[in-house]
Each structure stands twice: as C-alpha cells, then as structure tokens.
Structure 1
Amino acid sequence: MIDTLGLDRSLAKLSDLAPKGYALGLHIRFASAHLMIQTYDPRWTEIYTERGYMLADPTVFWGFGNDGAIRWSQVNLPDPHDILGQARSHGLKYGLVVAYGPTSSRTIGGFARDDREYSDDEIDRIVEIVEKLHVASEPPEQLTSAQRMALRLIARGNRHAEAAALLGISESALKARLRSARDRLFVRTTAEAIQRAQEYKLL
C-alpha cells in the first residue's frame, strides 16, 4: 500500500510531465477502476463522460490490448467519433497512453501536452511512475476481521458510539479500525470504504 505522501509526490510528477492533464485508471476490473484520477480540462472531461467516449476511445482500446506506452499519434485504431480530434480542440494536442498489469486488473493512463510530442525519456519516466503506482495501489484480497466488523456495523446504520459498544471497544478504537480499513482500500471516506469492500466481496 502506497502512503498518501508517496501518492501525492507521484501524482505531482505526473502533473509536471502532463501539462495539459492526465487520466489514470488504476486496477480496472469489470470496467471500473480501483482508483481514478483525472486532471484534464473539466469541459473536456464532461463531454467525454456524457457521450460515453471511453467505450469508443482508440487509446483505451490500445491500452486493453497492449502493454507499455505509445504516442497518441502512433495509435492506428479506428476513431469514428473523432475523439482524438475533439481532444485536440481542448488543448490535448499531443499525448501518450500507458498500459500495465494483467487484463484482470489493468492500469491505463492517458497523458497530454499542447506544445510537442513526448520524448523517449519522458515516456520512460511516466511508465516508471505508472508501474510504481500500479504496484503500490494493489487492491487488498482481504480485510482483517476487526476491519470487516467495524465496516459492517457502520454499513448497517449504527453510529460510531453504538458500533463501538457492540464491539466492546472505545469509540477511538473503532475510528482507528475504520481509518485502517480506508487506508487498506485506498479511499478517503468510510462510505467509500464500505462501497469498495462490497464491490470486492470483502464484507
């Protein structure tokens, strides 16, 4: 599990390397990412999401079928909706797609700039960061019994004080268990932890 500071540093490096933004889906399983981070122009992200472009994006198709990295200009796949052309009109003129990990838990990222193509050195640096983030954000195969019980009680609607009393522990101890579950599941809120745990059938 990557620490939050390490995550922030890695994402800051990606922001430096992608001045027009990026979209990074870590551990995509069943068409849903364990962690999704987007810094593209919000107007482009809104259009992309509303029109369901992920299902037709040639760079995403490339990412599911290939390992490594390729410049957008070198992706030789159909683009019937002219997604890459529309992206250019929002300043995403030059880009890179990176794919890593097994098909069952894939990480795919798109990175953009508006001034020039990515250099080989920049591509190597982005690939290295993406691979590190993929390994560090591996979804857990299980939670501890203490974490599971704490999440279950909150999921059933118990307040912190009630859940702590049922477990025979202090409220601060309960909060510590919930915090450790959030960290393990790579989320920021308990509600997200419950949802993620249910998605991975950990509860």
Structure 2
Amino acid sequence: MKPWQTDQLEKVLAASTPEESFARIAEEARTLGFEYCAHGLRMPLPITKPRTTYFSNYAPEWQQRYHEQGYMQIDPTIAHGMRSSNPVLWTDEFFAETPQLWQEARYYGLRHGWAQSRRDPEGTYSMLVLARSEQAITAAELEHTEPRMQWLVHTSHVSMKACCSDPELEQPKIELSDREIDVLRWTAEGKTSAEIADILNISERTVNFHVNSVVAKLGACNKTSAAVRAAMLGLIW
C-alpha cells in the first residue's frame, strides 16, 4: 500500500487546470477537518504588478465583501505570510488590530483558521489557509495533524504553480557567471562600481562590463533593477 503522502501527492499533482488543482486541495483539506480553504499564488515578476491567482471555497457573499472592503490590504494573515513562513493560528489577539474584518469573517463561518506561506527558490510565493466554522483548533490536534497540513502547503504550491504557469510568459532561464553574481551582490548592498572594484580587486571598467551584462540578461533598465530582479528570482543569495 502506498503511503498517504504519495497517494495524495499523485492525486493533487495530476490536476491539469488551476480549478481542478484547487478542488483536490479542498478535498484534502476536508479530510483534515476543514470545510473551508483558500490558496493564493504570486509569481515574482513583473515586480510592480506580479501575476497572481487566488481560489477559495468561502461563501460568495464573503468573497465579495472582502474584495469591496479592500480587506486584503489589512488582512493580518497575509501580512504574516509575507514576513514569515511559520504557520499561524487565528486568535482574537491575532486580529486585534482588524476587529471588523475578524467579526465579519466569523459571521460567514470563518471562526477557526490556520495558515502558512511558502516561497520557493525561484521567488514564487503562495499561502494556504485552512478554516472551519466549528470546533477550535487545539494543541493536541495540531500535534497530530499539522505535519499533514504543512505537507498540503507544499503540495498545493507545487501543483498550483505548475497549473498556473504560462510558457509564453515564463522568464527564460538565466545563467549568471560567478563574477556577475559577486557584482550583483555588492550592487544590492548599495555599493558603487568603484567600491565594488576595490572589494573584488578588479578594474572599475570590468565591474561596469559585468553590470551591463547582467542588465541585458535580466531585461532590466539599470543595475538597481537588475539586482532586485536577481534577488526575486533567487539568483543571488
């Protein structure tokens, strides 16, 4: 018999569309005791308006209300997920600064929730939210179930990313030399070409050569943009 991870992984990854993938994620969420779930995915580029996808099985009235009130801009779940990949449990204290959002969410049945984000080496970010209307999430439940919940975070990220990728919009594979990476690292630290030349013991002309090369490879407009793009794509660390 296959272990549950392999069986469920194959099921979720077999999806060919985002809608089918989310339906299978929601099915797995229900087996974990959560009637509601939501999944958001954000590609790293373009930086000013990244491609995003969002799916949930929340009540349509709540989805509309959430959008109309601009709750995404103040939702502490999203704010936490952008800062940390640690899971978070919904509590009154967690929503202390957004009482109206918390009150309305509970009205629509979202009373007990858990969320975790994931950012992969290519810079793609996602977050999975699991929620239900009854029964608080206890420490004993988390001890028993959280490994499977975290497994679902990873699996949903992989599946939704694969389903949402558009080959025509994908960034072509970029390969940077070791020296280009060195120059980008120091550029990201705010160093000038002259300062980088001193640090790396090379000429300023050579530094500028590498800068122009990475700007072209990354399709950036200047060295600052190139450094940001490289960081978002996981090319420098």
TM-score of Structure 1 vs Structure 2, range by shorter chain = 0.5 to 0.7
Paired residue type of 1:38: S
The answer as to 2:129 corresponding to 1:72 is: no
> Secondary structure of the equivalent of 1:82?
helix
Larger radius of gyration: 2
- Aligned equivalents of 2:33, 2:70: Cα separation in 1: 23
The answer as to 2:158 corresponding to 1:135 is: yes
Deviations 1:9-48 (A, max 9, x none): 4431124436441111134545756442210111111100
The answer as to 2:38 corresponding to 1:23 is: yes
- Aligned equivalents of 1:125, 1:23: Cα separation in 2: 16
Per the alignment, residue 78 of structure 2 pairs with 60
- Aligned equivalents of 1:100, 1:75: Cα separation in 2: 23
Contact 1:21 1:38 in 2 (8 A): yes
Contact 1:24 1:107 in 2 (8 A): yes
Which has the higher mean CA deviation after the structures are superposed, 41-50 or 78-87? 78-87
TM-score (norm: length of structure 1): 0.60
Deviation of 1:113 (Å): 0.8
- Aligned equivalents of 2:104, 2:116: Cα separation in 1: 20
Distance 1:62 1:19, change over 3 A: same
- Aligned equivalents of 2:161, 2:82: Cα separation in 1: 18
Q: Quote the RMSD (CA, aligned, Å).
A: 3.2
Paired positions, count: 149
Deviation of 1:128 (Å): 0.7
- The structure that is strand-richer by fraction is 1
TM-score (norm: length of structure 2): 0.52
- Aligned equivalents of 2:67, 2:152: Cα separation in 1: 26
Contact 2:26 2:36 in 1 (8 A): no
Contact 2:76 2:95 in 1 (8 A): yes
- Aligned equivalents of 1:116, 1:33: Cα separation in 2: 36
Identity of aligned residues (%): 19
- Aligned equivalents of 1:32, 1:82: Cα separation in 2: 28
> Secondary structure of the equivalent of 1:110?
strand
Unaligned runs of 5+ in 1: 140-185
Correspondence for 1:13 among 8, 28, 31: 28
Contact 1:94 1:115 in 2 (8 A): yes
- Aligned equivalents of 1:126, 1:105: Cα separation in 2: 20
Per the alignment, residue 109 of structure 1 pairs with 128
Deviation of 1:90 (Å): 1.0
